Structure 1
Amino acid sequence: MTRRADELSEDDRILWNLVARTTRPLKGKTAIEIPDIVEPKPAPAPAPANGVPTAAAKPKPQHVSHALDDQTLHKLAKGRLPIEGRVDLHGMTQDEAYSLLLTFLHRAHAGGIRYVLVITGKGSSSGGDGILRRSVPHWLSTPAFRHLVSSHDHAARNHGGSGALYVRLRRTR
């Protein structure tokens, strides 16, 4: 089966989006906005007529990513649990890294992968933590990633230490 010339593969689309974000328009031309993946927000529940919230009207607590349990961390560090995918975010801007990480995790989750390694790097040499090192754990707890990520934790030294994260993806249903 041949692919139409105007269709991009998923890898080509990821690469194109990363390149397109770094370009500037020609003089006299306006920039075209590249949309990010936007998840639909659930509709708010209607308020009860008598003003007393019912059990159905109470919002459910959102699932928060936890750290990996000690046994799983030990198995990943020793190589007894396979790391089935890895993504390196070194040298990227926050926008590029966010886009690549979200796409990578979507593809890994769809492929049934459970454990991946996200390499953020340790940061700038000016003594502070790198922006990706601080931001990626926060991103993994946001609604965009919550349905993909079960838990995450810092990697063992042989996998990058504090400059990398183990991420456990949720099981596909």
Structure 2
Amino acid sequence: MPRRRSLHPEEQEVWDLVARTARPLHPPRARQAETAPPAATPAPVPPVAEPAPPAPLPAFRIGARAPQPPARHDLAPPIGQQIAAHPLRMDAATHKAMRRGKLMPEARLDLHGLTLAEAHPELIRFVLNAQSAGLRLVLVITGKGKDRDRGGPIPTRFGALRHQVPHWLALPPLRGAVLQIAEAHLRHGGSGAFYVYLKRSR
């Protein structure tokens, strides 16, 4: 192995001058950390909301009845309540006696079993003829109806004829002949019939 010779003073001076201008190929790691840009501070993570605690169950004792679901409500009141809400246009004492079944109808029309198309002209003919004959109280029997709802998109009302007759009586040509409508007393058919109190014919 050849021996390394020492540098002369002139050579050492030139070497020191060159060494001062040289840059290291691999700087120390400590110096890299000093010159590296500071790392970005991560954004704060919002706290996760804790789920609300479940509502406590109602107290229950062995042998107690379980709560029942709320009953379904029909937005349209029954036809009897609708008619009872109509304003009174006849003598109050006569109306009270009629509602109690103490007045005997002077004529009756039985529409039970007819279709709506068949019942409407029959009702018009009967009421107008009764008024022309001077009658005041007549009875229109509709029956309580059957449940004919087939489950279609439009529900069918229970007792379509019973609900339609008061509507017909409030429309021309019968509106000018009818003074008051009331649900019949049990002795005259109850909710399956109507008292129709007529105006005096002119």
Structure 2 vs 1, CA of residues 70 and 164 (structure 1 numbering), >3 Å: closer, same or farther?
A: farther
Q: TM-score, normalised by structure 2?
A: 0.49
Map of 1:49 onto structure 2 = none
Q: Partner residue of 2:117? A: 95
What's the counterpart of residue 52 of structure 1?
A: none
Partner of 1:54: none
Conserved in 2, the CA contact under 8 Å of 1:65 and 1:150?
no
1:86 to 2:108 alignment: yes
Gap regions ≥5 residues in structure 2:
1-85, 150-156
Q: Secondary structure at the match of 1:144?
A: coil
1:111-157: per-residue Cα shift (whole Å, max 9, x none)?
Answer: 00000000010010468521111100111111221111111011111
Structure-2 separation of matches of 1:125 and 1:106: 31
- Paired amino acid for 1:166: Y
Task: Find the aligned partners of 1:67 and 1:154 in 2 and give their Cα distance.
Answer: 15
Q: 1:152 aligns with which of 165, 181, 184?
A: 181
Hey, what does 1:120 align to over in structure 2?
142
Give the Cα separation in 1 of the matches to 2:101 and 2:192. 18
Q: Distance in 1 between matches of 2:97 and 2:198?
A: 16
- The aligned counterpart of 2:132 is 110
Is the Cα–Cα contact under 8 Å of residues 143 and 193 in structure 2 kept in the other structure?
A: yes
Matches for 1:54-65 after TM superposition, within 5 Å = none
Displacement of 1:108: 0.4
**CA gap 1:69/1:154 in 2 versus in 1, 3 angstroms:** farther
Provide the alpha-carbon RMSD of the alignment: 2.4
Bigger radius of gyration among the two: 2
Aligned counterpart, 1:171: 200
Identity of aligned residues (%): 45
Cα 1:94–1:151, aligned 2, differ >3 Å: closer, same or farther?
Answer: same
CA distance in 2, matches of 1:143, 1:66: 20
Contact kept? 2:101, 2:188, Cα under 8 Å? no
Tell me which amino acid in the other structure corresponds to 1:149.
Answer: V
User: Contact 1:65–1:140 (CA<8 Å) still a contact in 2?
Assistant: no
Match of 1:74 among 96, 100, 108: 96
Distance 2:89 2:142 in 1: 17
Deviation at 1:106, TM superposition (A): 1.1
**SS across alignment from 2:174:** helix
- Would you say 1:136 and 2:158 are equivalent positions? no
**SS state at 2:170 partner:** coil
